[in-house]
Chain A
Amino acid sequence: MKKSWLIAGLLVAVLAVCGGLALLYHLPLDLRDRSPRQPLAFSHKVHAGDNGIHCLFCHRAAPGSPVAGIPPVSACRSCHLYISPDAPEIVRLMTYWDGREPIPWVRVYSVPDHVYFPHMMHVRAGLDCGQCHGGVAAMDRITRYANLKMGWCMECHRRSRASIDCWTCHK
């Protein structure tokens, strides 16, 4: 009788740990803002949507680097010296420039440190930016489209027959 109790107790403990972990994974514990206010009311809808500017025109590091890159303030300025220079948000943009201060954009998409995510691989594989970033062309303020959990990555990697080796992303 002692032995069976012990086994049952162990089983309960294992189940509790597993259940706890599953709960942790599924509970909405990710408290990061999905659609944070940005320091400037930059509209992707106006740029990428209405005016049809290609994503890589500004995020030009994406095809060759792990990160997509945020355009330098000088790039914003070079257009807006001529395009609607009097709009209130553009005036605020120019105050950043005049103060020699970079704009402290709030990050929307991020993966933990133990995940290696290279933009270049995905761009080169011909993925459309929208598959992960959603309909950016319709968003005034960027809202995170994907939950960025491992299951979401794996699902797409399986579907596209990309590598699902652990070392592909965890290195």
Chain B
Amino acid sequence: MKRRTFLQLTGMITASAWLSGCRQGNERLIPYLVPPDEGVTPGRAEYYASSCRSCPAGCGILVRVSEGRAKKIEGNPLHPVNRGKLCARGQSALQELYHPDRVTRPLRRTGPRGSGKFTGISWEEGLSLLTSDLAGLLRHGTGDRLALITPELRGTLAELTAGFMRSFGSSRRLAFELLSPDWLSEANRRGYGLADLPWYDIAETRYLLSFGADFVESHLSPVQYGNAFGRMRQGRNTVRGHFTYVGGRMSLTGASADRWLPARPGSEGVLALGMARLILAESLFDRDALAANGVQAEQLLRRLDGYQLPRVAELTGLPRHVVAEVAREFAATRPSLAMAGESVAFQSNGRESVRAVQLLNLLAGNLNRPGGVYPSTGPVNGGAGSLAELLSLIGDMDSGRIRTALIYGNPVHSVPPSTGFRQALRKVPFIVSFSPILDDTALEADLVLPDHAALESWGDVVPLAGARREVVGLMQPVVAPLHDTRPFPEVLMAVARGLGGGPAAAFPYQSWPEMLKGSTARRMGLPADENFEGVWAGLLQRGGMFETGSGPTETYRPVFGPEPPQPAPPRFAGATGDYPLHLQVYPSTAFHDGRGAALPWLQQLPDPLTTVVWGSWVEINPRTAAGLGIRQGDLVEVTSPRGSLRVPAVIYPGIRPDMVAIPLGQGHRGMGRYAQGRGVNPLELVELLREGEEPLPAWNATRVRVTRVSGRGELVTAGHPEGSYRSDLVGI
């Protein structure tokens, strides 16, 4: 720095410090016009326990409320899942409440579909529109032409939606989430004999081997596992657990590992079986565990004969000695733990690859042991939500069989377009959305009946794979509703009452909180009488039911049978010549599957590995980029057999040279001023693969090509000064 510049800067800083100290004038004191009824003391904060629904992990939260306004969210220390910790997504739920673009009253579409032209109506009118439509279906005896699409629901809301649809005689209740761990419960059913999700004891393990399970940022219960990972590394005096990560892209989890094995996409199952064969061949396996589960080691070894080290090394692209070393370390260190994650499961051979990883846990004797893997309790998924059901519903919508679709959530953004969902939805004559903000789905709707924000709602939240014991978190409203909105379950109940007959009989409760209280009492095995009021108040105070009487009882019993997993060679959409690079789509740290994109705090949250804010990007290996003449921040076109997208490039050494990666979550058409038109949705590139007739959730099995467009990618990173000066970002 020049002396002159230094002096100028010093002068400026001094002057501004002086000026800011000379703030003039007296402040104003604005009293209430009418004080609130409840005991609000000005200047004193109240704390309410509730639950987070920003992702399926369902952490417990404490909300600080001052003068009737929610001010700050922190983790609930009593909640066994997050133990007082909370991630950025949970903390940002405040902005959902105060979002300037919330739908403040029911809307009826006036322009063409998708134009975003709506007019505000009253709740009476909105409810009568919906009720009369549903009454028409019932009158013609065509209740099964009603479809209800939600994210995966667990707990009382799942019961309510199921009862609602049953009363119409419709089986078209779809609970679909792109990142749902259905594949994991399915693999557990086939491998361990229980169709549930596992609970990994990461904190107590000594050797963790993750096959693409990004448990620090998105896999199952990230706050819990991030905390457990910290304890695994530093919580014990004598041991620092070792961590090896397998996956073509170094995620935040991968970056926390001691060793990174960038296996070729789709070859992870082969790698696991190669390790299994070595463990068997060198007799490093846990004899007791195998004997107890009736597995013949010699027989298994014979069947894994095709997975000799040289072949595994060739298929995975990893050095032979590294594979052998990791396999020996994994088997020799007890307790050890192998996890399979989304980037493995979302390949064409994902199902078998995940089972191959499970086989490693069996061989090392990690089932039902401290530092290993246990069954988690609690309902897995309230509504069946497999991809096959999604496609069958899409078929029905496409053929015009569905007359009315009730949609809670944002499937238009989160269902890959290659399924044909968007086109099929356009053929549904009447679409109702319950979104609290005009998201991509609400833009397609004919009627929007806005739900409360999470902080205004009652509910119960069953954490996904949260604990070995049953845990149910409760949500309670911490502020009075800001707008003329109504809770989604309350609307369904009101409609059912309006219809009378079967639908009304399905709901014996007067209101949603009453139903919630009733189902909680039932869950605890108590009668819902006056005595329960005290128990209920206690539950609300603590944030939910954390100590249910029934301890963990179920254990895993491997049922591999004579046939070990056989991952087929991976298939990819797009020929190698035209599309030389593998595309990986992965959940963004800030937005998960995209539900957080409306919140400016999350948009401003730098991606932990690339520091990008306010947009999308594609990660390219420096060697590949140099070959294509691409530099950091260039605008590139990513083309797959399905289409192409333009995004800025990030030169990222933590990715295989034959891979590129784009995070999920951006590229919304609607969803308010902060998300609208920002970034791209990589699902638009993803092809749907099938195995025979059966669709595969192979969202990472598409190949692409990348070409440079220009030098102006408008990449905004937290470290780059350009980020602070972008005019469209100033003022937020």
Contacts and interface: CB of A to CB of B under 8 A. Distances in A.
B33 A100 contact: yes
Contact of A73 (B26, B32, B43, B44): B32
Interface string A107-148: 110100000000000000000000000000000000000000
A104 B30 contact: yes
A105 B29 contact: yes
Chain A, interface SS category: loop
Chain B, interface SS category: loop
B25 interface: yes
Given A66-B44, A69-B43, A102 B26 contact: no
A103 B33 CA distance: 8
A31 B24 contact: yes
Contacts of A75: 35
A72 B26 contact: no
B29 A29 contact: no
Contacts of B24: 31-32
A103 B44 contact: no
A95 to B, nearest CB: 13
Given A31-B24, A65-B44, A66-B44, A73 B29 contact: no
B7 interface: no
Contact of B27 (A65, A73, A74, A110): A110
Nearest to A106: B26
A61 B30 contact: no
B2 interface: no
A100 B44 CA distance: 25
B34 A107 contact: no
A64 B34 CA distance: 20
Nearest to B25: A32
A105 B44 contact: no
A52 interface: no
Interface size class for chain A?
20 to 34
Nearest to B30: A102
A71 B29 CA distance: 11
A71 B26 CA distance: 19
Interface size class for chain B?
10 to 19
B41 interface: yes
Given A32-B25, A32-B26, A105 B31 contact: yes
B120 interface: no
B43 A67 contact: yes
B22 interface: yes
A19 interface: no
A33 interface: yes
A36 B431 CA distance: 59
A65 B33 contact: no
A67 B31 CA distance: 12
Contact of A67 (B22, B26, B42): B42
B43 A107 contact: no
Q: Which of B22, B26, B34, B35 has the most CB of A within 10 A?
A: B26
Interface of B: 22, 24-35, 41-44
Query: 9 closest A-B pairs (Cβ-Cβ)?
Result: A67-B43, A72-B32, A70-B31, A65-B43, A107-B27, A105-B29, A74-B34, A66-B43, A69-B42
Given A100-B33, A107-B28, 14 more contacts: A32-B25, A33-B25, A61-B44, A64-B41, A69-B42, A70-B30, A72-B35, A73-B34, A102-B33, A103-B31, A104-B28, A105-B28, A105-B29, A106-B28
Interface of A: 29, 31-33, 36, 61, 64-67, 69-75, 97, 100-108, 110
23 contacts: A32-B26, A61-B43, A66-B43, A67-B42, A69-B43, A70-B31, A71-B31, A72-B31, A72-B32, A72-B34, A73-B33, A73-B34, A74-B35, A97-B33, A102-B30, A103-B31, A105-B28, A105-B30, A106-B27, A106-B28, A106-B29, A107-B27, A108-B26
